[in-house]
Amino acid sequence: MAEAHPSTIEAKAGALTLAKLLKIERIEKRPLKECMKILHSAVFPVAYKSAFFEMIYANNYHGMNLQSLFNGILVGVICARLELDKGAQQVAPSVGGESSSAVGGSMEKFDASGEVEKLSGALEALAIRPHAKNSSASASNDLSFRCYIMTLGVLPQYRGIGIASALLQQSMANLEDFVRLRNEASTQPGKPKEKMRIREIALHVQVDNKAAIAFYTKRGFAIVERITDYYTSIEPKDAYLLTANFPLAHEAAAK
């Protein structure tokens, strides 16, 4: 009988330990808002406004906003939002001043006024707008969105064991389920034929954040643009815009 390689045994043991100790759940408990604020301040180089935290609690209908607990300790988070798709190069607003995303941080200027209302209107239209006569379910009738990852981070002492990967994988899986259920509902009598689709996943990363860039490129993201003076309160100020196709391949997200 062939003997198992020690590294294989260690990898399997590590996976079993992570599965046993790691819990990923939706961010829904407002009493824990202070804990979420502390986590963000420990992981990201940006001070988040209260509006950001209110937004991730109040607008988690898609299930992309998740927190991770390792042996009962809050250690990681992913927060994302849907934007009406206005083109690959569009930098849409985000809530709460400068928002930060990536395994080490990327940021975006954000003013939520009007964006949530526009998005809610588009989603509501998918659910309640009646059929137009002789309408067809062609791609031109689809309502297109972009998924923007605002924050994805893990406390330094818990990095390198797969927590960020698990958060990304579960968040994108939840979005897939949300889109599927929305589109299934649109096929019911009296419902619109327009389908919801996600064109891409996007985020920003500081140009010197090699760990975050490596994390995302390994998982199917590509650098599409360098934005000068993207950041206002940290150095360097330049950022890379990274995008990936949706749905994100499960094997890529899990790497």
Average of per-residue pLDDT across 19-35: 85
**What pLDDT, on a 0 to 100 scale, did the predictor assign at position 206?**
94
Q: What is the CATH number of the domain that holds 189?
A: 3.40.630.30
pLDDT category of residue 173 using cuts at 50, 70 and 90? very high
Structural domain contains residue 11: no
Query: What confidence category does residue 104 fall into, taking pLDDT thresholds of 50, 70 and 90?
Result: very low
Average pLDDT over residues 9-31: 75
Mean pLDDT over each residue of the chain, to the nearest integer:
78
Q: Quick check: is 36 in a domain?
A: yes
For residue 137, the model assigns a pLDDT of: 39
In a domain, 235, yes or no: yes
Please report the pLDDT score of residue 132 as a whole number.
36
pLDDT band at 8 (very low <50, low <70, confident <90, very high): low
Residue 101: closest CA among 216, 7, 17: 216
How far apart, in Å, are the Cα atoms of 37 and each of 27, 40, 43? 12, 5, 10
Q: What percent of the chain has pLDDT over 70?
A: 67
Question: Which residue would you say has higher pLDDT here, 131 or 53?
Answer: 53
Where is mean pLDDT largest: 41-55, 85-99, 148-162, 192-206? 148-162
Radius of gyration of the chain (CA): 19
**pTM, 2 dp:** 0.76
Catalytically annotated residues: 148, 204
Convert the pLDDT of each residue in 112-141 to its tens digit: 434 444 455 555 544 434 333 333 334 556
Residue 5 lies in a domain: no
In a domain? residue 10: no
pLDDT one-digit tens code per residue, 205-248: 999 999 999 999 999 999 999 999 999 888 999 999 999 999 98
Most confident of 32-36, 48-52, 87-91, 242-246: 242-246
In a domain, 37, yes or no: yes
pLDDT for res 157: 96
pLDDT at 18: 80
Provide the domain count of the chain: 1
Share of the chain above pLDDT 90, in %: 51
Q: Is residue 3 part of a domain?
A: no
pLDDT digits (tens, 9 = 90+) for 191-203: 656 789 999 999 9
Whether 68 has a pLDDT exceeding 60, the answer reads yes
Q: What domain range includes position 134? A: 24-253
Asked if residue 188 belongs to a domain, the reply is yes
Paired sense of beta strands 97-100 and 107-110, if any: antiparallel
